């Protein structure tokens, strides 16, 4: 039965789903990393695919940018399509000098200026954390990549163009590794709905230095984070 934003049939999605922000990235992952991938939804061009990775059923679907958009798709995937493990594969901007462009960040926790988790949590501050089994599997998989991999806190921002640049100093002083726009919402949603979530992020730019990847580098670098995410998917799929 289709949902307002996903036109797929029951059973069309695997229990584990990778979630890039960009639907074209979803198509890229389906084409280049999955076997026998087929498109299962394309409402608003937000494409989703299901195939297999090393024999295990895996789906991949775009979420758009920002917590509200990502939570719409993640909620419908969990409540209507039986997705239990959600792995965001996305980009982020790094803050500390020792995190480089092209590095991978596993978001153990996600701070935010969004109000969604406070709303869920009765006005209290919810610690938005990754699922431990997914995180541990991703850390194990990271040992096989040639990219530096960092594990720690990220900040899921409501603003891409923030009006107060002074906020960066606050984030940096508390050890935040990078800024992105979805993980905290995804982690809160997963907690509320009994699912498991992890964000595997590629550093596309450095916020302090202004250094940014070329499109070629972005293409190559997505391989490291996608492989880590898929290997983690295999572990939770029980294969
Ligand atoms: N802010 C938010 N999201 C991002 C950034 C950023 O600087 N870079 C890549 N994704």
pLDDT at 80: 97
pLDDT band of 165, cuts 50, 70, 90:
confident
Atom of ligand 1 nearest to the CA of 93: 8
Q: Is the CB of 69 under 6 A from ligand 1?
A: no
Proportion of the chain above pLDDT 90, given as a percent: 91
Residue 218 in this model has a pLDDT that exceeds 80: no
pLDDT at 106: 98
pLDDT band of 239, cuts 50, 70, 90:
low
Q: Is the CB of 39 under 6 A from ligand 1?
A: no
List of residues 6+ apart from 139 with CB closer than 8 A: 106, 149, 151
- Burial class of residue 152 in the structure, from the number of CB atoms within 10 Å of its CB (0-12 exposed, 13-18 middle, 19+ buried): middle
Sign (positive/negative) of CA torsion 190, 20, 183, 2?
Answer: negative
Report CA(92)–ligand 1 centroid distance (Å): 5
Higher pLDDT, 170 or 239: 170
Catalytic residue selected from 22, 36, 205, 216: 205
State both tokens at 17: 């789903």
The predicted-structure confidence for 88-129, as pLDDT tens digits, reads as follows 999 999 999 999 999 999 999 999 999 999 999 999 999 999
The predicted-structure confidence for 79-89, as pLDDT tens digits, reads as follows 999 999 999 99
Minimum CA distance residue for ligand 1 atom 7 = 93
Report CA(158)–ligand 1 centroid distance (Å): 10
Minimum CA distance residue for ligand 1 atom 10 = 92
pLDDT band of 214, cuts 50, 70, 90:
confident
State the chain's mean pLDDT as an integer: 95
Closest CA to 158 of 98, 115, 194: 115
List of residues 6+ apart from 76 with CB closer than 8 A: 3, 4, 5, 6
Q: Is the CB of 205 under 6 A from ligand 1?
A: yes
User: Does residue 205 have an active-site annotation?
Assistant: yes
Q: What is the C-alpha separation between 20 and 99, in angstroms, rounded?
A: 21
Q: Is the CB of 211 under 6 A from ligand 1?
A: no
Residue whose CB lies within 8 A of the most ligand 1 atoms, among 91, 94, 101, for a mutation test: 91
């Amino acid at each position: 039965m289709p949902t307002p934003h996903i036109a797929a049939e029951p059973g069309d999605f695997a229990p584990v789903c990778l979630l890039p922000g960009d639907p074209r990235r979803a198509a890229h992952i389906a084409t280049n990393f999955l076997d026998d991938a087929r498109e299962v939804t394309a409402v608003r061009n937000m494409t989703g695919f299901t195939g297999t990775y090393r024999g295990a059923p895996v789906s991949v679907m775009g979420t758009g940018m920002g917590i509200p958009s990502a939570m719409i798709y993640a909620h419908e995937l969990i409540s209507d399509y039986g997705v239990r493990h959600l792995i965001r594969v996305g980009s982020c901007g790094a803050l500390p000098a020792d995190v480089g462009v092209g590095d991978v960040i596993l978001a153990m926790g996600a701070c935010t200026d969004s109000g969604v988790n406070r709303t869920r949590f009765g006005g209290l501050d919810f610690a938005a954390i990754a699922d431990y089994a997914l995180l541990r599997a991703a850390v194990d998989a990271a040992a096989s990549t040639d990219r530096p991999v960092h594990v720690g806190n990220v900040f899921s921002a409501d603003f891409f163009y923030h009006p107060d640049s002074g906020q960066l100093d606050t984030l940096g002083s508390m050890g935040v590794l990078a800024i992105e726009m979805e993980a905290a919402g995804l982690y809160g949603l997963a907690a509320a709905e009994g699912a498991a979530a992890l964000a595997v992020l590629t550093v596309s730019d450095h916020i302090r230095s202004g250094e940014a990847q070329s499109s070629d580098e972005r293409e190559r670098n997505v391989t490291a984070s996608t492989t880590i995410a898929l290997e983690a998917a295999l572990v939770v799929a029980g294969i």
